[in-house]
Each structure stands twice: as structure tokens, then as C-alpha cells.
Amino acid sequence: MIAAANGIKLIDTEGNEFFDGVSSLWVNIHGHRKAAIDEAIVRQLGQVAHTTMLGLANLPAYELAGQLVGITPAGLNRVFYSDDGSTAVEVALKMAFQYWRHQGKPDKQKFISLEQAYHGDTVGTVSVGGIDLFHRVFKPLLFTPVHIPAPSCYHCRLAADPAECGLKCAAVLEQVLAEQHEEVAGLIIEPLVQAAAGMLMSPPGYLAKVREITRKYDVLLIADEVATGFGRTGTMFACEQEAVAPDLMALSKGITGGYMPLAATLTTDEVYNAFLGDYAAKKTFYHGHSYTGNPLACAAALANLRIFREEKVIEGLGPKIAAIADRLAEMAVLAHVGQVRQCGLIVGIELMLDKSKKVPYSWEQAAGASVCRQARKYGLIIRPIGDVVVFMPPLASTVAEINTMLAIIKRSVTEVTA
């Protein structure tokens, strides 16, 4: 059980220290107990801890909205707050549906999502998800999206070669939209990395192609940057890497630097304007949470963004990303490492029983879980997704700390798969 933390380390009730190799699930960007965030929260406590956003704004929420608009892709000018990643995506789906209703045409009820996608745990987000494990139990409750193949290369069912895989997957999308675009409200995607699927990474150009095709067929593009946002991929947002401006963007996780739940869904003036009109016109967006835009969380988020600026966090990522690449190259040659995948500070190390024939370990062998247990013995917290060992350290980790953490992973993989 965790009792305390210090920098990028967690400390359990017996005083043992562990590197937080998953940033407490993508959120603790600057590590734990970051003085500037601690102080911002205390300062805000001296003003007001909570006030409803129903019909009122509050100062930190107002200021944060302006800053989010300033750092996200062009055109995302409007901010709607909620409380976690799932609801940020749920909001985007509901907003997209209602946007089309306000166009005065027949409802568009379909969403397109990728096979293996994960967008959250609410009924709407599980509906657009593609991971059977999370889907199966709730199937009778869910609406059915149109799934398109995930361009994950190593596992792609259309082509293993990256260039070919991206093109073939995009061609399927084009075909689906050519036939069904009039019924499709939006396409939702985790840009660059499908996280919960096991850090599956799309080949260069795929995201930009998706933007081009969705624009051609007038379908809203929803970027779920809940995991990839706030520097994780090496840029502030993954969409930047392919100069993609989505119509809606869901943010959460790293938004408060790992301090409190907060989420935001950003959208364009065009989508926002479709909701204007008096209450009687029933154009209101029907969604709201009690803690929406909580001032303490927004104060933490403002401090988080200030740290990004003042400590030049993004600018300092280059050597860390390079160190990860070097260590992964050394791990790629291990006998039971099928593939190493990296996008910025997101890493997936996929284990294989037989690497050359791509034969996975059996469920009972649980190689991924065993590696993570072994790493825990050496003072590192990491997580398995099946047999993919995932590693996403705080952006604040030094090169030396990254090297130490990856050395523990290499040792654990070697020992477990020997």
C-alpha cells in the first residue's frame, strides 16, 4: 500500500521506495508533490474550493479555458469541462450527435472507431471501444459503432509493412464513408497510440489521412488525447505531429499534473454555434456534472501548464526520448521480445513465446504480469497489458533515472523469460 511519495518515487507503508514507471496511470507528469502545484492548490483553498458551473464561471476555470485554447490545435476555441477521461469522450460523442441534429437533417446515429480502441468505461465510451474484454459483459446495453481496422503494423490484419498498413487501413475508412457518410456523426480515434490496446502505434501519415478523409465526407473527427495529451508523445498533443486539427478533442489525465480529476472537451466555433439559441429552442447541450470546472482542479491545471512553460518541459524531452530508444534497441534483440514500441515517453515491450513465428505466451503463463512482478522486486512499478509490458515514466524523470528504470525492465524480462 502506498503511503507517500517523493519526486518520481512512491513509498509504501513499510518505507520501501519504487519508481513510478507508469506516472500513476499517465497523470503525474512532473512527479509527485511538485511544490508549484501544491502551493497553487493551497492558494486556491484560500479563495474558494468549489462553486457550481451551472450558469456561473469561476476564475481558475475561465483562465484555464483560455490557456487550453492557446495550446491545442488551431480552431479548437471552445471548452466544456467534465471530470475524467471517460466523460470527456462521452461529452464529445453526445456533442457530435446533437450538433448534427441541430442541422435540421435526419439524425446521424453512427460513430466510427478503431478495432482495439479504448475510450473509457461509461456506456457510451464502452460502445465505441473495441476491446472485447471490456465489451462482452455489457453488450446488450451498448450501441454498435462501425469498427475499422487498427493500423498497428505488428498486429495489423491487412499488412505488416508500416507504409502499406497505413494506406490499406485508410482505404477501408474511405470505402466505409463513401457508403455510409450520411449516417455517420463522427470518427473517434486515439491519435498515434492506442494505449489500452497495448501501445499499438499507427504508422506516420495515417492520422493526417484520417483527417483528410473525414473532412472530405463531412464527418466530425474526435481526437481522444486523454492518454497522449500533455507532452506524453514528445509534443504537447499527439495531433501536432501530423498537423491535424480535429473537430473535438478530449483531454484529462495529465491535465492537472496528476493532482485531481478534471477533464475538458474542446471544440470549434462551428460546433459551439450550433448550440446557441434560447432555452426554448432546445439547443442546450444536455450534460453537466456537480464538480465540473472545480476551482481547485483548475488551479492545479494552471500550475501544471505554468511548469510546462517555465521549466521548458517539452523542449527538454529530446535526450530522454533518445535514451529510451537506445535502451529499447538493446532490448529488442532479447530472445522473447517480439517488438519494442515507442512514441515519445510511451513504451510497449511485447513478449512472445516464439519470436520468429510470432507465437504468444499462453494466458496461464502470464509472462507480462510476471515481468512486472519481478520489476517490483527491483523497485519499479510498471503494468502489463496482456504480454505487453508498458512503461510511461513521468516526463520529469532524468536520463539517468530512465536508464535505471529500463535496466530494471531488461533484467526482469531476461530473468522471467530465461
Known binding residues for pyridoxal 5'-phosphate are 85-86, 224, 289-290
**Residues near 418 by beta carbon (within 8 Å), at least 6 away in sequence:** none
CB 189 within 8 A of CB 117: yes
294-313: contacts with ligand PMP (CB under 6 A) = none
Alpha-carbon distance 352 to 417, whole Å?
A: 9
CB 194 within 8 A of CB 150: yes
Positions at the binding site: 85-86, 118, 224, 253, 288-290, 383
From residue 141, how far is each of 103, 122, 127, 144, 278 by CA, in Å?
Answer: 28, 11, 8, 10, 33
Name the burial class of residue 129, with classes exposed (0-12), middle (13-18) and buried (19+) by CB atoms within 10 angstroms of its CB: buried
Rg over CA atoms, the chain? 21
Report in angstroms how near the CB of residue 33 gets to ligand PMP at its nearest: 21
76 scored as a contact of ligand PMP (CB under 6 A)? no
190 scored as a contact of ligand PMP (CB under 6 A)? yes
199 scored as a contact of ligand PMP (CB under 6 A)? no
Q: By Cβ distance, which residue is nearest to ligand PMP?
A: 85
Q: Count residues contacting ligand PMP (CB under 6 A)? A: 14
148, 195, 266, 328: residue in contact with ligand PMP (rule CB under 6 A)? 195
Q: Pairing state of beta strands 388-391 and 346-351?
A: antiparallel
388 scored as a contact of ligand PMP (CB under 6 A)? no
Report in angstroms how near the CB of residue 27 gets to ligand PMP at its nearest: 9
- List the beta strands (DSSP E) in 291-395: 337-343, 346-351, 380-381, 383-385, 388-391
Report in angstroms how near the CB of residue 228 gets to ligand PMP at its nearest: 7
Cα 256 to its chain centre, rounded Å, is 14
Binding mask 108-137 for ligand PMP (x = CB under 6 A): ----------xxx-----------------
113, 127, 233, 252: residue in contact with ligand PMP (rule CB under 6 A)? 252
Report in angstroms how near the CB of residue 359 gets to ligand PMP at its nearest: 28
Positions at the binding site for substrate: 118, 253, 288, 383
- Torsion angle in degrees (nearest 10) through CA of 116, 120, 126, 130: 0
* Contact stretch for ligand PMP (CB under 6 A) within 81-89, 296-304, 347-355, 389-397: 81-89
232 scored as a contact of ligand PMP (CB under 6 A)? no
227 scored as a contact of ligand PMP (CB under 6 A)? yes
Report in angstroms how near the CB of residue 238 gets to ligand PMP at its nearest: 10
From residue 182, how far is each of 114, 219, 222 by CA, in Å?
Answer: 19, 9, 17
CB 388 within 8 A of CB 368: yes
Question: Which is closer to ligand PMP, CB of 27 or CB of 416?
Answer: 27
Report in angstroms how near the CB of residue 258 gets to ligand PMP at its nearest: 12
86 scored as a contact of ligand PMP (CB under 6 A)? yes
CB 406 within 8 A of CB 325: no
Report in angstroms how near the CB of residue 119 gets to ligand PMP at its nearest: 5
Under the rule (CB under 6 A), what is the footprint of ligand PMP? 84-86, 89, 118-120, 190, 195-196, 224, 226-227, 252
